[in-house]
Amino acid sequence: MLRHSDMHVHLDQFADPGGTADAAAAAHTALLAVTTTPAGFRAADGLLAGRSNVRVAAGLHPWWLDGRCGEDDVRALEGIIGTRRFIGEIGLDFLEKHAARSTWERQKEVFGRICAAASAASAECRSPTVLSIHAVRASETVLDILSETGCLERCICILHWFSDSSENLWRAIRAGCWFSVGARSLATGKGREYIKLIPHDRLLFETDMPWPGDAERGYAAIHGSLAQAESAAAAIIGADAVQKAQENAAFILGETDA
């Protein structure tokens, strides 16, 4: 039975990804291991194979569309979608200190292609494609693309660490999106207010780890961050909502042995 779930963690960036995953399994913790490039996904998928408490997601982070990832990478991810259920980290980032304005149109094009492929894959199988989505100062455009491609109806769309406007939060809630929140988001006033608005049956927990200094700590860092997030959430919205978030994660991830 799951005790914890981390629905957005960069497991491949830990010093010992396999050991971290094994320690998580021993603690009955499930991990949605997002990646930032198709090559990173292939490496992580091979490294973490056979661990039933881990789901490895194939991703292409918007920051990497600054020239580090090209058309071959986009096509590679399009080819992976349909063969794997979990896709992420993907999305848009329109904050110039993160991603130059010159990349924004390319980000939109690529995100639209990824979403179109994910929507088509969901339409062809029983289990919906799960998307873990980065949306920084771009949630309106993200929601537009999710709607235009049919992802809102066909996929499980998880907005990771949502921090955009309350207007767009309400739009995302009405659209049926899910939300993964963590200790860092709940340390902010906006994060504490937003978790009051998120429906309990669309709430998930995440760490977005490793942060600097955490890669060597492995599962201890993940556990500490999850415990902090769950404690903060329980104080704001109640322990029943925290339990519901664990049930939500189990539903999305499917049965695990964690």
How far is the C-alpha of 136 from the C-alpha of 134, rounded, in Å? 6
CA distances from 238 to 68, 130, 222, 235 (A): 43, 27, 22, 6
DSSP state, residue 12:
G
- Min mean pLDDT across 28-32, 85-89, 125-129 is at 125-129
Give the count of alpha carbons within 13 A of 147, CB side only. Answer: 11
Which pLDDT belongs to residue 257? 45
Which pLDDT belongs to residue 132? 98
Which pLDDT belongs to residue 1? 65
Q: How confident is the model at residue 2 (pLDDT cuts 50, 70, 90)?
A: confident
Which pLDDT belongs to residue 224? 98
Q: What pTM, to 2 d.p., does this model score?
A: 0.97
Q: How confident is the model at residue 97 (pLDDT cuts 50, 70, 90)?
A: very high
* 8 Å CB contact between 173 and 196: no
Which pLDDT belongs to residue 93? 98
Which pLDDT belongs to residue 255? 56
How far is the C-alpha of 186 from the C-alpha of 53, rounded, in Å? 25
pLDDT in tens, 102-136: 999 999 999 999 999 999 999 887 789 999 999 99
Mean pLDDT of the chain: 96
**What's the mean pLDDT in 188-210?**
98
Burial category of 116 from C-beta neighbours within 10 Å (exposed 0-12, middle 13-18, buried 19 and up): middle
Write down the CATH superfamily of domain 4-253: Metal-dependent hydrolases (3.20.20.140)
**What's the mean pLDDT in 188-207?**
98
Assigned token pair, 15: 């010093």
